C-alpha cells in the first residue's frame, strides 16, 4: 500500500532514500569517540584475527559487488591477500583454505543457497567464517562463526539498494578493524577514515536531494537498446552494479567493464549514440586513475558514444567530455562507491518505470534465491 511505501511510488525509491539513515545505523555503536572501530560483537578473538593470513569474500549478485569493493579496501588497509568469488563458483573450484583463512560471506537475506553452500564448504575446510548479513537470525549468520549485521532495516524491493551500501560500510569496518588489530594502520590513520565514514550520510543526503536531472535522464534513456558502464579500481564494481541494476529492472542489455579493458574488445560495441556511463575516480589522492578514466571517456566519445559521467564535485574539467554530468560529493577513493552507486540506482529505477516494468518485483527474479 501507499502507506507502507512511505509516500514513495515504489519500495525501491523509499529504500534508496533510506540509505543515509541505513549507513548511520550500521555505524552506530561501532565507532568510539576517538575514532576506533569497536567490533566486540563479532565473536572472533583478536588473536584469531591476527592469525588470518588470507581473506576470501564469497557472495552472489549485488552482495558480490560489495565484496569486490571490499577487496580493494582490505588489501590496501590490511595488506593481506583478499580474493573475491561468486558463491556458485567458489566451492567447485576446490579453493585452498585452512584455519588461518578468514572467509567473509555477504548476504542481505542470509538465505541464499549458493552462499550457504559456500559457507559450509569453508567450514569443512576449517576456515573461520564471518557473515555480513541484514536479516537477524537467518541461516547464514546462524551457521557462521561470527556475524556483523548490517542495520539497513527490511529491504522489500527485489533489487538491492540500501543493503548494498550497508554491506560496503560493514566491509569498511571489518577492514579497518583488521588493520587496527594487526597494527598495520596507526590509530590516527584509522580515525581519519572513520571521520570520513561518519560524514557519508550527510553527503548522501545532499546527493539524494538533487537527483531530478538523473530521473529525467532515465526517462530519456528508456528507449536505448544498450547501456555500457565503465570504471576503474572501486569504480569497476560500481560499473558492474550499475549494469546489473539495469538488467534486473529495465530488462535492457547492459554491461559493466573495467575501463582499461575497453581497448581489449568492448570498445567495438561503441556506435553512434551508444550510452556509456563513466564512473570517474576522485582527482584527489590517486589522480592518475582519474586521468586514465578521463582518457577512456575521450576514446569512447571519439567513437560516437553519448557519455554520462559521474564525477566528484570540483572536478570541473570532466564537463568537457560529458554529455550528461552527474556530480557527487567528495569522498576518499575507497569510500566513493557509497556515493557513485546511488545515481545508478535512480537511473535504473527511472528507466524501468518509464518502460512500464514492475520496479519492485521484476520478472524472473526473487528477493532471496533458496535453490542452488
Ligand atoms: C538475488 C537477489 C539479488 C541479490 C542476490 C544475493 O538474486 O535478486 O538482488 O543481490 O540474490 O542475495 P543475498 O540475500 O544473498 O544478498
User: Percent helix, strand, coil in the chain (nearest 5)?
Assistant: 50, 15, 35
Report whether 308 contacts 326 (CB < 8 A).
yes
Q: Is the CB of 115 under 6 A from ligand 1?
A: yes
pLDDT band for 286, please (50, 70, 90 cuts): low
Distance in Å, CA 292 to ligand 1 centroid: 32
Q: Is 162 assigned a catalytic role?
A: no
Strand runs (DSSP E) across 211-301, as ranges?
A: 226-231, 253-258, 275-279
Per-residue pLDDT, averaged over 243-254, amounts to: 97
Residue-level pLDDT at 371: 87
Q: Is the CB of 365 under 6 A from ligand 1?
A: yes
Cell numbers that stand for 366 in this block: 526473487
Q: How many CB atoms lie within 10 A of CB 29?
A: 12
Ligand 1 probe mutation, 15, 63, 64, most atoms within 8 A of CB: 63
* Residue 148 scores a pLDDT above 90: yes
Ligand 1 probe mutation, 12, 60, 110, 139, most atoms within 8 A of CB: 60
Residue-level pLDDT at 2: 75
Residue-level pLDDT at 288: 87
Report whether 159 contacts 248 (CB < 8 A).
yes
Judged by DSSP in three states, 150 sits in coil
Q: What ipTM, to 2 d.p.?
A: 0.96
* Span 296-312, pLDDT tens digits: 999 999 999 999 999 99
Looking at every residue in the chain, the average pLDDT score rounds to 95
Distance in Å, CA 219 to ligand 1 centroid: 26
- The sign one gets for the Cα dihedral 80, 78, 67, 346 is negative
Cell numbers that stand for 285 in this block: 589522492
Strand runs (DSSP E) across the chain, as ranges?
A: 54-59, 82-86, 101-107, 128-133, 146-149, 226-231, 253-258, 275-279, 306-312, 324-328
Residues 213 and 309: their CA atoms lie apart, in Å, by 13
Closest by CA position to 201, among listed 146, 173, 162, 228: 162
Judged by DSSP in three states, 56 sits in strand
Please pick, among 54, 123, 292, 367, the residue that the annotation labels catalytic: 367
Per-residue pLDDT, averaged over 12-26, amounts to: 97
Per-residue pLDDT, averaged over 174-183, amounts to: 96
The angle, 0 to 180 degrees and rounded to 10, between the axes of the packed helices 162-181 and 19-27 is: 30
Residue-level pLDDT at 258: 97
Closest by CA position to 136, among listed 1, 37, 41: 41
Distance in Å, CA 150 to ligand 1 centroid: 15
Report whether 238 contacts 347 (CB < 8 A).
no
Cell numbers that stand for 105 in this block: 560471506
Residue-level pLDDT at 285: 65
Q: Is the CB of 368 under 6 A from ligand 1?
A: yes
* Residue 287 scores a pLDDT above 80: no
**What phi and psi values does residue 228 have, to the nearest 5 degrees?**
-105, 150
Q: Whose CA is nearest to atom 2 of ligand 1?
A: 367
pLDDT band for 295, please (50, 70, 90 cuts): very high
Report whether 55 contacts 82 (CB < 8 A).
yes
* Residue 264 scores a pLDDT above 60: yes
Report whether 321 contacts 301 (CB < 8 A).
yes
Q: Is the CB of 60 under 6 A from ligand 1?
A: yes
Amino acid at each position: 500500500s501507499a502507506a507502507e511505501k512511505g509516500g514513495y511510488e515504489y519500495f525501491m525509491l523509499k529504500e534508496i532514500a533510506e540509505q543515509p539513515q541505513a549507513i548511520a545505523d550500521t555505524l552506530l555503536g561501532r565507532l568510539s569517540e576517538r575514532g576506533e572501530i569497536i567490533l566486540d560483537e563479532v565473536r572472533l578473538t583478536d588473536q584469531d584475527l591476527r592469525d588470518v593470513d588470507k581473506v576470501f569474500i564469497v557472495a552472489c549478485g549485488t552482495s558480490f559487488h560489495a565484496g569486490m569493493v571490499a577487496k580493494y579496501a582490505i588489501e590496501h588497509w590490511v595488506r593481506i591477500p583478499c580474493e573475491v568469488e561468486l558463491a556458485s563458483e567458489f566451492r567447485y573450484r576446490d579453493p585452498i583454505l585452512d584455519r588461518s583463512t578468514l572467509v567473509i560471506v555477504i548476504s542481505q537475506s542470509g538465505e541464499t543457497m549458493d552462499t550457504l553452500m559456500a559457507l559450509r564448504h569453508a567450514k569443512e575446510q576449517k576456515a573461520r567464517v564471518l557473515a555480513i548479513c541484514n536479516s537477524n537470525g537467518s541461516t547464514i549468520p546462524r551457521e557462521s562463526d561470527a556475524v556483523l549485521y548490517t542495520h539497513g532495516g527490511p529491504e522489500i524491493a527485489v533489487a538491492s539498494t540500501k543493503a548494498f551500501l550497508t554491506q560496503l560500510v560493514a566491509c569498511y569496518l571489518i577492514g579497518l578493524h583488521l588493520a587496527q588489530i594487526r597494527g598495520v594502520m596507526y590509530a590516527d590513520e584509522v580515525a581519519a577514515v572513520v571521520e570520513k565514514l561518519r560524514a557519508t550520510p550527510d553527503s548522501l543526503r545532499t546527493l539524494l536531494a538533487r537527483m531530478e536531472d538523473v530521473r529525467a535522464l532515465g526517462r530519456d534513456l528508456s528507449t536505448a537498446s544498450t547501456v555500457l558502464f565503465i570504471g576503474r579500481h572501486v569504480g569497476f564494481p560500481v560499473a558492474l552494479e550499475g549494469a546489473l541494476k539495469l538488467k534486473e529492472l529495465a530488462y535492457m542489455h547492459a554491461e559493466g567493464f573495467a575501463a582499461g579493458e575497453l581497448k581489449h574488445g568492448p570498445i567495438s560495441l561503441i556506435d553512434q549514440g551508444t550510452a556509456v556511463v563513466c564512473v570517474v575516480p576522485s582527482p584527489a589522492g590517486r589522480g592518475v586513475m582519474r586521468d586514465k578514466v578521463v582518457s577512456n571517456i575521450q576514446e569512447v566519445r571519439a567513437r560516437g558514444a553519448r557519455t554520462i559521467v559521474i564525477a566528484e564535485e570540483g572536478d570541473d574539467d570532466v564537463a568537457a567530455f560529458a554529455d550528461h554530468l552527474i556530480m557527487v560529493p567528495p569522498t576518499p577513493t575507497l569510500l566513493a562507491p557509497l556515493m557513485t552507486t546511488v545515481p545508478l540506482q535512480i537511473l535504473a529505477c527511472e528507466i524501468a518505470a518509464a518502460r512500464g516494468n514492475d520496479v519492485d518485483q521484476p520478472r524472473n527474479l526473487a528477493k532471496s534465491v533458496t535453490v542452488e
